[in-house]
A and B are shown apart, each in its own frame.
Chain A
Amino acid sequence: MSELRVPTLNRVLLSGRLTRDPELRYTPNGSAVCNFSLAVNRRHKDQSGRWQDDTTFINVVAWQAIAENVNKYLHKGSPVMVEGRLESRSWETETGQKRTVIEIRADSVRFLEKSETSQDSAPEAD
């Protein structure tokens, strides 16, 4: 039997609502980047049998055509399904401390709100 190598696997699937309007900007070489934050809810029973909601807040970054479409069609409260991968980003604060954030780099953002004006989903460009 041949030996295996460790494959790359980094997949995230989420559905939630935008916590604020998306922010679009352009990198110096003209690429569109859009950052938004998702509230992902989970309903579960606690130990005493009562239903509890808990919410996870997750930052998402989208590029290029997806970024443009997110900015054009989505706003605070919009429901979406996001598929992508986890990325960590590090930087130094003014006081020299190292900080790291984890965010999702979206490969696909599906718009879940029914509407005549908006399209169903963003192009699935990478």
Chain B
Amino acid sequence: MPDLKLAELNRVFLIGRLTKDPEVRQTSNGTPVTNFSIAINRKYKSASGELKEDTTFVGIVAWQKLAELCQQFLAKGRAVLVEGKMQNRSWETEDGQKRSTLEIRADRIEFLDREPRAAGTSGPSPDSGSPEGQPSGPEVSPDKSDDDLPF
């Protein structure tokens, strides 16, 4: 039998709420990118049976069209489903120290708040000021959220 290779598996699924408004910036070659954090709440019972809640904060990065759609349709407090992979990001502090963190590079972000503006229905969005305000496209599918329900 031939040898196996190690499967490449790096997949993350999260649902959380944005901790601030997403902002898009451009890289030096003009690629749009956005960084934001989501808060993921978890309820659990402690050893003594008390109901407790904790929150995990995770940084998300999105590129290209997905970044622009996030800025257009998301704001602090909005709920999203994020699918992507984990990656390291390194930077230097002002005093020259090296730091590194883990973040999620999003492949897909689904907007979970049902609102006329974010619902992805037909027609231009009233206040986006652009006929391309419709959040359609392969990366984002806000109008398909019903498909994910088991019933």
Residues of A in contact with B (beta carbons under 8 Å apart): 6-17, 40-43, 56-58, 79, 81, 85-88, 100-102, 112
Q: Flag if B10 contacts A8 (CB, 8 Å).
A: no
Closest 10 CB pairs of A and B: A9-B15, A15-B9, A102-B102, A11-B13, A13-B11, A6-B79, A88-B56, A12-B12, A40-B10, A79-B6
Q: Does B58 contact A (CB under 8 A)?
A: yes
Q: Tell whether, in the assembled complex, residue A6 and residue B17 are in contact, meaning their CB atoms are under 8 Å apart.
A: yes
Chain A residues with Cβ under 8 A from B15's Cβ? 6-10
User: Is B8 among interface residues, defined by CB-CB distance under 8 A?
Assistant: yes
List the interface of chain B (C-beta within 8 A of A).
Answer: 6-15, 17, 40-43, 56-59, 79, 81, 85-88, 101-103, 112
Check B58–A8 contact: CB distance below 8 A: no
Complex CA–CA separation, A23 to B112 (angstroms): 40
Query: A102 contacts which of B8, B10, B58 (Cβ < 8 Å)?
Result: B58
Q: B58 — nearest CB in chain A belongs to which residue?
A: A86
Q: In the complex, what distance in Å separates the CA atom of A79 from the CA atom of B7?
A: 10
Q: Is the interface of B mostly helix, strand, loop or mixed?
A: strand
Instruction: Tell me the bound Cα distance from A8 to B15 in angstroms.
Output: 6
Distance of A88 Cα from B14 Cα, bound (Å)? 14
Given A6-B79, A8-B15, A9-B13, A102 and B6 contact (CB-CB distance below 8 Å):
no
Contact A14 B86 (CB under 8 A): yes
Compute how far the CA of A79 lies from the CA of B8 in the bound complex, rounded to whole angstroms: 11
User: Which single residue of chain B is at the shortest CB-CB distance from A44?
Assistant: B8
In angstroms, Cα B55 to Cα A88, docked, is 8
A15, A85, A101: the one contacting B8 at CB < 8 Å is A15
A42 to B57 alpha-carbon distance, docked (Å) = 25
Q: Return 7 A-B CB contacts under 8 Å, by A number.
A: A11-B14, A40-B9, A42-B10, A56-B87, A81-B7, A81-B9, A100-B57
List of B residues within 8 angstroms of A88 by Cβ: 56-58
